[in-house]
Amino acid sequence: MAVSGPTELVTGPQLRECHGCGLFQVVPAMAANMRCDCERCGTPLRATRADPTGHCLALTFASLVLFAVLWLTMLMKVSTAGIVHETGLLSGPAELVRHGLWPLAIAVAFTTALAPLGKFAGTLYVLVGLRMRTPPPNLHRIFLLSRKLGTWSMLEVLLLGVFVAYTKLGDLVTIELGPAVYALGILTIVVVWAELALDPQAVWEGIERRGQTHAPMPAVAPMEYRPGAAGCENCGLVCMPAEHDGKCPRCGSIVHERKPDAIGRTIALVIAGAVLYIPANVYPVLTVIQLGSGSPSTIMGGVEELVSSKMYPLALLVFFASVLVPLFKLLGLAAMISATKLTSSAEAAGVLLRQRTRLYFIVAWIGRWSMVDIFMESLLGALVQFGSAVTIDPGAGAMAFCAVVIVTIFAAEAFDPRLMWDAAARNAHRPALPRAAERVPALGLSSGQRPGSA
406-439: pLDDT as tens digits:
999 999 999 999 999 888 877 766 653 333 233 3
Give yes or no for residue 443 having a pLDDT over 60.
no
Rounded Cα–Cα distance for residues 9 and 52 (Å): 14
Rounded Cα–Cα distance for residues 78 and 409 (Å): 34
Q: What is the pLDDT of residue 77?
A: 84
Q: What is the pLDDT of residue 439?
A: 30
Q: How confident is the model at residue 445 (pLDDT cuts 50, 70, 90)?
A: very low
Give yes or no for residue 116 having a pLDDT over 90.
yes
Residue ranges, CATH 1.20.140, the chain:
261-426
Rounded Cα–Cα distance for residues 343 and 353 (Å): 11
Tell me the CA distances in angstroms from 445 to 15, 16, 28, 42, 403, one per residue in order.
9, 10, 13, 16, 41
Q: Which one of 97-106, 171-180, 261-270, 279-288 scores highest in mean pLDDT?
A: 261-270
Query: Of all residues in the chain, what percent are helix, strand and coil, respectively (each to 5)?
Result: 55, 15, 35
Give yes or no for residue 347 having a pLDDT over 90.
no
Tally of residues, the chain: 454
Tell me the CA distances in angstroms from 158 to 41, 138, 153, one per residue in order.
33, 31, 10
Rounded Cα–Cα distance for residues 15 and 23 (Å): 10
Q: What is the pLDDT of residue 190?
A: 97
Q: How confident is the model at residue 174 (pLDDT cuts 50, 70, 90)?
A: confident
Task: Give mean pLDDT, residues 334-362.
Answer: 79
Q: What is the pLDDT of residue 453?
A: 34
For the chain, the average pLDDT equals 84
Give yes or no for residue 19 having a pLDDT over 50.
yes
> Between 346 and 76, where is the model more confident?
76
Q: What is the pLDDT of residue 357?
A: 93
By the 8 A CB rule, do 53 and 198 touch? yes
Task: Give mean pLDDT, residues 17-26.
Answer: 93
Q: Please tell me the number of Cα atoms within 13 Å of 147 on its side-chain side.
A: 20
By the 8 A CB rule, do 8 and 218 touch? no
Give yes or no for residue 52 having a pLDDT over 60.
yes
Q: How confident is the model at residue 81 (pLDDT cuts 50, 70, 90)?
A: low
In the chain, what is the straight-line distance between the N-terminal and C-terminal CA atoms, in Å?
Answer: 13
Q: What percent of the chain has pLDDT over 90?
A: 52
Q: What is the CATH number of domain 261-426?
A: 1.20.140
Q: Report the predicted TM-score, pTM, of the whole model to 2 decimal places.
A: 0.86
What 115-120 contacts at long range (C-beta under 8 Å, 24+ apart), as own/partner pairs, is 115/149, 115/150, 115/152, 115/153, 115/154, 116/67, 116/149, 116/153, 116/155, 116/191, 117/67, 118/145, 118/146, 118/149, 119/146, 119/149, 119/150, 119/153, 120/60, 120/63, 120/64, 120/67
Q: In 3D, which of 353, 377, 372, 391 has the Cα closest to residue 23?
A: 353
Q: How confident is the model at residue 187 (pLDDT cuts 50, 70, 90)?
A: very high
Q: Which of 172-186, 276-290, 381-395 has the lowest mean pLDDT?
A: 381-395
Q: DSSP H helical segments within 15-138, as ranges?
A: 54-72, 91-98, 102-109, 115-130
Angle 273-104-337 (CA atoms, 0-180°, nearest 5)? 20
Q: How confident is the model at residue 306 (pLDDT cuts 50, 70, 90)?
A: confident
Q: What is the pLDDT of residue 294?
A: 62
By the 8 A CB rule, do 199 and 49 touch? yes
Residue type, 174: T
Q: Which residues pair with 16 in a beta bridge?
A: 25
Rounded Cα–Cα distance for residues 356 and 150 (Å): 25
